[in-house]
Amino acid sequence: MPRRWLVMLWSAPLLACATPDAGRVPLCGSHASLAPLPAAQSCDARELAEFSAGLEKRLGERASRALVRVEFDGAAAVRSVCVEDAPGYGRDGARRAVAENLDALLASPPGPTCLADKRLDLNRYEAAWAEIHERETRCGEQTRVTRETQGSPTTVRNAIVPGAYGVYEREYERCLDYEADWIALDAPGSNRPAIFVKPEVPDPPGASVYDTRSRCLRQSRVFEKQAECIEAEGFERLEPPKR
């Protein structure tokens, strides 16, 4: 038998073993089927943040853009892991990435007692940022196609007329706003935005994303005042992780 075939036959099992089994990491079900998050103020914030950061580190860099939900048993040990199906990352790729380090995650030491029979959501900022980036890319492409199919832009479309706002810019913003459940604001001292998200519950309280952003951005140009206004409508602030 030629040597090259021997090499291929010998390496095939290794390649098969090296491929993570995405089937070990299911897509998350409905919120009703998941364990609840720990109640507010039930955990020490610093202890919980450090424990969450440790779990995210065990997940590895390749899984950092996926929203991963981890459920805990009565002893606050990791019981199960799933990946949320969301835009911004390929769900199968995310599941394989998590599967690469699933054993390390399942073997993690128990967490704070407040996590008993509860869950944690990991990579929340990165997953939200991936979704926003995907929406920006898609809306940019949609606007580009509109420009090409609508003919030469006018001065109004180019926003050259004083006080005018280009129709293409409006189309881009409408595309970004469509069914968005987040608000992104430039964060001082960071090249990535702070992201404000609605609670993951049916019919979350407060005004809509569009109304909230429009009102709060008109109210002040100061970041913290804008943030306070948005948070008053029930949004949660996700800060860019330090790199």
Is 235 in contact with 206 (CB distance < 8 Å)? yes
Q: What is the pLDDT along the chain (243 residues), one digit of tens a residue?
A: 555 444 444 444 444 455 778 889 999 998 889 999 998 889 999 999 999 999 998 888 888 888 999 999 999 999 999 999 877 666 788 888 899 999 989 999 999 999 999 999 999 999 999 888 888 888 888 888 877 777 555 544 444 444 444 667 777 777 777 767 889 999 888 889 999 998 876 667 777 888 898 899 999 999 999 999 999 999 999 998 876
Q: Are 90 and 164 part of one and the same domain?
A: no
Does residue 3 fall inside a structural domain? no
Is residue 89 a contact partner of residue 83, using CB atoms and an 8 Å limit? Answer: no
Does the residue 170 lie in any domain? yes
Residues 144 and 205 occupy one common structural domain: no
Which residue among 158, 178, 198 closes a domain? Answer: 178
pTM of the model: 0.77
Report the domain count for the chain.
3
Residues 140 and 190 in one domain: no
Q: What is the pLDDT of residue 136?
A: 84
Calpha distance 65→125 (Å, rounded): 8
Residue 46 is predicted with a pLDDT of 93
d(CA 178, CA 170): 12
H or E element that contains 44: none
Q: Is the same domain home to 52 and 148?
A: no
Domain hosting 132: range is 125-178
Angle of helix 167-177 versus helix 124-149 axis, rounded to 10: 150
**Quick one: 223 and 146 in the same domain?**
no
End-to-end alpha carbon distance in the chain: 53
Return d(Cα 167, Cα 152) in angstroms, integer: 13
Burial class for 149, CB neighbours closer than 10 Å (0-12, 13-18, 19+):
exposed
CA-nearest of 168, 139, 140, 163 to 152 is 168
Cβ 52 vs Cβ 120: under 8 Å: yes
In a domain, 27, yes or no: yes
In a domain, 142, yes or no: yes
5 in a structural domain: no
